[in-house]
Amino acid sequence: MDDFRRFKKMDAHTHIGTFGSPFNINFDIEQLLAQMETYNIEKTILCAAGCHLNEDTAAAYRALPDRIIPLMWVNCALGQPVYDELEHYIRDEHFAGAKLQSLFDGYTADAPCVDPVAEICRHYGKPLFVHSGHPPFSLPWQIGLLAERHPSLPIVMIHMGHAHGVYVDAAITMARKYDNIWLETSGTSMSCQIQNAYETVGHNRVMFGIDSPFHHPTVEIQKVMACGVDEDGLERIFYRNAAEFMGLL
């Protein structure tokens, strides 16, 4: 356990709430806080278990304002009411940005309905986190096209391609091509590709995440620990890159 605690961490991607079929799993605020204490996680970038549950994130943020960085899960397919809701959460509830899960919500990551969300985030100086790795809705190339259309918007490609080796390679390729894409490591299938991303995309553009409750912290921590970067690289990936990205350093 000491090895898993050795580096201070920021978890760049975790959920709170209940996921039904096919996952059938729950992760509440008590479990989140216990996980953070156990694995030396200073802050968690958090979103709810679905696009209609953003008040769960807001409640968690009110309870733990020094530990949680809230994102709104935005279902872009719902149009103007959701764009208005995003402005509310950023402006009035002090949310730190938006998260898209186009696989669950049924639109492509580069669809025109995403553009208003991107523009709202850009207007308020907030980042956009985008799930990646599942066809046909969340492919790295689609996120690359989104980044091309919005070059001044910071975009985090969650999972950096996820579990398919071709998509992981594409995530790295897209991040090398578009300097407004950062990569997050949760669920990625190849530890060695974390080092590849660190060395070829940029030392400051790869950040650690867990994606609770779907992945266990020990697995996600070990993937980074074993990837082959030096001590400075581990410190950057586990904490400094996300902290700088979110404006905390």
Cβ atoms of residues 120 and 86 within 8 Å:
yes
What pLDDT is attached to residue 1? 67
pLDDT band at 235 (very low <50, low <70, confident <90, very high): very high
pLDDT digits (tens, 9 = 90+) for 27-36: 999 999 999 9
Cβ atoms of residues 128 and 97 within 8 Å:
yes
> Rounded to 5 degrees, what are φ and ψ at 71?
-120, 145
pLDDT digits (tens, 9 = 90+) for 173-195: 999 999 999 999 999 989 999 99
Residues forming beta bridges with residue 174, ordered by sequence position: none
> Does the pTM of the predicted model rise above 0.85?
yes
Q: 3-class DSSP state for residue 14?
A: strand
Cβ atoms of residues 170 and 146 within 8 Å:
no
What pLDDT is attached to residue 204? 98
Average pLDDT over residues 13-34: 95
Residue with tokens 């764009």: 83
Range of the domain at 7: 2-245
- Other beta carbons within 10 angstroms of residue 62's beta carbon come to 11
pLDDT at 141 over 90: yes
Cβ atoms of residues 68 and 95 within 8 Å:
no
d(CA 231, CA 245): 20
Residue with tokens 């046909």: 136
Strand order, beta sheet including 68-70:
25-27, 9-19, 41-48, 68-70
pLDDT at 50 over 90: yes
pLDDT digits (tens, 9 = 90+) for 154-164: 999 999 999 99
pLDDT at 22 over 80: yes
Q: What is the CATH number of the domain that holds 64?
A: 3.20.20.140
Q: What percent of the chain has a predicted confidence (pLDDT) above 90?
A: 97
d(CA 182, CA 65): 25
Helix segments in the chain, DSSP class H:
2-5, 29-38, 54-63, 80-91, 102-105, 115-124, 140-149, 165-177, 191-200, 217-225, 231-235, 241-245
Number of domains in the chain: 1
Average pLDDT over residues 43-72: 97
Q: What is the mean pLDDT of the chain?
A: 97
pLDDT at 2 over 90: no
